[in-house]
Structure 1
Amino acid sequence: MDLLNRVKDAGVIGAGGAGFPTHAKLSAKAEYILLNGAECEPLLRVDQQLMEQFPEEIIKGLEAAGRHIEARKAVIGIKGKHQEVIRILREKITALGLEDYMEVMELRDVYPAGDEQVLVYELTKRVVPEASIPLKVGCVVINSETALNVFHALSGKPVTETYITLAGDIPHRLTVKVPVGMAIRDLLRQCGLENGDDYAVIDGGPMMGSLMDGIDGYVTKKSKGFILLKKDHFLIRKKSVNLNQGRVISKTACEQCRMCTDLCPRYLLGHDMQPHKVMRALSYDLKDVKELQIAQLCCECNACELFSCPANLHPKTVNIFYKQKLAEQGIRYQPTQVEFQPRAARNYRLIPSKRLVAKIGLTPFDLPAPMARIEFKPATIEIGLRQHIGAPSLPIVNLGQHVEAGQMIGKIPENSLGAPVHASLAGTVTEIKDNSIVIKVG
């Protein structure tokens, strides 16, 4: 079985983002394969620790993926502040005899260094065109944990675990390996909070993560972190504003200072993403939304909403509002050019991570979250059938059936984009829902 089919059968998906099936990404040919080790979201500590603890596995996974797509060069992008991890990676690359094929490049400590298109430019000086993907400029990007999962897939090990950082205003900040399907409520008990009634939880990083309605969900293959903050924290109050509230607030108070545009990472790469124009259109209540197609260029990094805007408005929310309106009318952005150049002022407008952390009120919590070895023994697990971009997996098990850890329990629908799912622990299938399979462990 070749690498592509091993990765496909193992259910490998993008571990740090939207969960795009990795076998689909590796089905193309590209000049570069890039490892995204930037981990630019504040407080998250997964990738940097994985690269330190599993450098050989990650390097071999990246090499295997790169050779498969016939890339002439593999590049690991990691922030320069992680000097010890960089040293370990470079020594391991040399020990494996890969100096001519693979290199480590240091990234500036800015946000969002881990944005796929920002990373491509920083590592290759190529600008991904508007509304396009890195493959358009000869690049394929995977992150550190994805490369680790590719390595395991080569030996037939499916994705049944994920690494998660618990951080925020909590007694114990830590990073742990968690079985997919474990209850989030049980996981959060590890952070040392005796009473969580005054707290809210962000699923993911503090910038792009979403505020959870409750903590009754389950860990998925793309879970990367949970940030716990008191309900009166600035970030929680900001993320509690719904789409309609954000639209109304932004409509009444935008002063057209254009800071949201001047600091937008996609605008600085030369794209026509100009949030201040979208905000202006909102003020005029324009009905013809086809003139606002630039909203679809927004990568939703939240830099405009949580850092740039001096009036504390909601430019990203307004972009999402118009994205929805455009989608309802079936309108898609049509680029008018092919090649792009970064704005001349880009180097002077990058957002320093420390300033960002201070602006969103996280400096007291910007502390290590060391890897902890905890053996979780949940009574039940719930494996989601839609943990990835594409069609949900189809159940291939029956009620009452005993399954082993690592056994495939959901497969990709015929001729569809997707990824199979596997049981993370042995047990008995007790329920098959529309979007998940419940297993009683043991």
Structure 2
Amino acid sequence: MDLLNIVKEAGVIGAGGAGFPTHAKLTSKAEYILLNGAECEPLLRVDQQLMEMFPDQIIKGMEAAGKYVEARKAIIGIKGKHKKVIVLMRERIAALGLSNYMEVMELRDIYPAGDEQVLVHELTQRIVPEVSIPLKVGCVVINSETALNIWNALEGKPVTETYITVAGDIPQRLTLKVPVGTAIRDVIAQCGVKNLDDYAVIDGGPMMGSVMNNIDGYVTKKSKGYVLLKKDHFLIRKKTVSLERARVIGKTACEQCRMCTDLCPRYLLGHNMQPHKVMRALSYNLEDVKEQQIAQLCCECNACELYSCPVNLHPRSVNSLYKQKLAEQGIKYQPVQMDFQARSSREYRLIPSKRLIIKIGLTAFDKPAPLTQVEFRPKTIRIALRQHIGAAAIPTVAVGEKVKAGQLIGKIPDGSLGATVHASCNGTVKEIKDNSILIKVGS
């Protein structure tokens, strides 16, 4: 069986983002394979710790993927501040005899260094066209945990666990290896907070993650972090403003300073993303939203909303509002060019991570979250059948059936983009509904 099918059967997906099925990235040829070790979201600590603990496996997983797509060069991008990890990875690349094929490049400590299109430019000086993907400029991008999962797949191990940082205004910040399907409450319970009534939880990083309406959900393959903050923290108050409220505030208070545009990472790469123009459109109550197609270029990094705007308005939310309207009318952005140049001002408008952390009020919580061994013993697990971009997996088990850890319980629908799903614990299937499988753990 070739690597593509091994990865496909193991259910490997993008572990640090939207969950794009990795086997689909291996279907084309590329000039470069890039490993995204930036982890630019404040407070999250997974990638650098995995590279420190499993350097050989990550390097070999990346090498296998790179050779499969016939990439002539493999580049690992790590922020320069992670000096220990950089030294280790370079040593192991040399020890494995891969120095002529693979190298580590140091990234600047900016936000969002981990955005795929920013990463491609920082590592190769190429610019991904609007509404396109890195493959368009000869690049395939995977992240550290995905490379580790590729290696595990080669060893016959499907994806049944994920690594998660629990951080924020809590007594104990830590990173954990968690079985997929574990209750989020059980993960958060490890942080030392006795009473969650005063807290809100952000699912993901503090910039792009969303505040959870409740924490009664379950861990998926792409879960990367939970950030706990008091409900009155600036970040929680800002993130819980409704789209309608954001629209009203923007309509009445935007002064058209265009800072949201001038610091937008996609605009600085030469794209036509101009949030200030989308904000301006609010004032005109336009029924025809075709002119606001640029909203679809927004990568939702939240730099405009949480850093750039001097009066704390909501450009990202307004972009999302127009995205919805455009989708309802079936309108898609049509690029007018394919070749882009980074704007000359880009070098002077990059967002330093430390300054961003100060701006969003997280400096006191920007501390290590060491990888900690915790044995989870859940009574039940709930495995989502759609943990990825694409169609939900189709159950391959029935209620009452006994399953073993690593067993296939959901397959990809024929002719669809998707990912397989596996049991993370031994147990008995108790329920199949709401695109998920509930398993009672134990014999």
Q: Which residue of 1 aligns with 2:410?
A: 410
Shift of 1:265: 0.1
CA distance in 2, matches of 1:329, 1:195: 45
The corresponding residue for 1:163 is: 163
Aligned residues: 442
Q: State the 1:358 CA deviation.
A: 0.3
Per the alignment, in what secondary structure is the counterpart of residue 87 of structure 1?
A: helix
Give the aligned partner of residue 234 of structure 1: 234
Aligned to 2:428: 428
Alignment of 1:6-405 (within 5 A): 6-405=6-405
**Separation of aligned partners in 2, 1:344 and 1:379:** 57
Question: Secondary structure at 1:170's aligned position in 2?
Answer: coil
In 2, the alpha carbon distance for the partners of 1:104 and 1:140 equals 16
Shift of 1:154: 0.7
Instruction: Give, in angstroms, the shift of residue 434 of structure 1.
Output: 2.8
- Return the offset for 1:215: 0.6
What's the CA shift for 1:310? 0.6
Q: Distance in 1 between matches of 2:327 and 2:431?
A: 35
Q: 2-side partners of 1:252 and 1:392: how far apart?
A: 42
Distance in 1, matches of 2:26 and 2:251, equals: 43
Partner of 2:190, secondary structure, is: helix
Q: Which whole-Å CA distance do the structure 1 matches of 2:441 and 2:99 have between them?
A: 45
Give the match's secondary structure for 2:251: helix
Q: Distance in 2 between matches of 1:269 and 1:84?
A: 30
Report the Cα offset of residue 196 of structure 1.
0.7
Stretches of structure 1 that go unaligned for 5 or more consecutive residues are: none
TM-score, reference length from structure 1 = 1.00
How far residue 168 of structure 1 moved from its aligned partner, in angstroms, is: 0.1
Alpha-carbon displacement from aligned partner over 1:242-286 (angstroms, at most 9, x marks no partner)? 111111111110000000000000000000000000000111222
Can you list the C-alpha shifts for 1:78-120, whole angstroms capped at 9, x where unaligned? 0000000000000000000000000000000000000000000
**CA shift for structure 1 position 176:** 0.5
Partners in 1 of 2:209 and 2:257 — Cα distance?
A: 27
Secondary structure at 1:34 match in 2: strand
Q: How far apart, in 2, do the equivalents of 1:281 and 1:68 lie?
A: 47
d(CA) in 2 for partners of 1:237 and 1:122?
A: 33
Question: SS at 2:325's partner residue?
Answer: helix
Which string of whole-angstrom CA distances, capped at 9 and with x for unpartnered residues, describes residues 142-184 of structure 1? 0000000000001210000000000000000000000000000
Separation in 2, partners of 1:283, 1:260: 17
> TM-score of the superposition, structure 2-length normalised?
0.99
C-alpha deviations, 1:225-247, integer Å up to 9, x for none?
A: 00000000000000111111111
The letter for the 1-side match of 2:207 is M
What is the alpha-carbon distance in structure 1 between the residues aligned to residue 161 and residue 242 of structure 2? 33
1:136, CA displacement in angstroms? 0.4
Secondary structure of the 2:130 match is: coil
**Distance between the aligned counterparts of 1:302 and 1:60, measured in 2?**
34
Shift of 1:318: 0.4
For residues 68 and 410 of structure 1, the distance between their equivalents in structure 2, rounded to whole angstroms, comes to: 26
2-structure distance, mates of 1:437, 1:95: 44
Amino-acid identity (%): 78
Query: Which secondary structure state, in structure 2, belongs to the residue aligned with residue 27 of structure 1?
Result: coil
2:273 aligns to what SS in structure 1?
coil
- The secondary structure found in structure 2 opposite 1:175 is strand
Q: CA deviation at 1:205?
A: 0.1
Q: Distance in 1 between matches of 2:412 and 2:5?
A: 13
Cα shift readout 1:6-48 (whole Å, capped 9, x = no counterpart): 0000000000000000000111100000000000000000001
Distance in 1 of aligned mates of 2:247 and 2:429: 45
The one-letter amino acid of 2:131's match is: A
One-letter identity of the residue aligned with 1:91: E
* Separation of aligned partners in 2, 1:183 and 1:421: 17
Q: Give, in whole Å, the separation in 2 of the partners of 1:291 and 1:400.
A: 54
Q: Which residue type is aligned with residue 245 of structure 2?
A: Q
The CA distance in 2 between the partners of 1:248 and 1:217, in whole Å, is: 32
Unaligned residue ranges in structure 2 (runs of 5+): none
Q: Deviations over 1:279-311 (max 9, x none)?
A: 001112222110111000000000000000011
For residues 328-361 of structure 1, the C-alpha deviation after alignment (integer angstroms, 9 at most, x for no partner) is 1111111111100000010000000000000000
What amino acid maps onto 1:219 in structure 2? V
State how far apart, in whole Å, the 1-side matches of 2:5 and 2:434 are. 27
CA distance in 2, matches of 1:153, 1:363: 38
Structure-2 separation of matches of 1:195 and 1:295: 40
**Matched letter for residue 102 of structure 2:** M
Q: Distance in 2 between matches of 1:421 and 1:237?
A: 36
Q: Distance in 2 between matches of 1:202 and 1:440?
A: 28
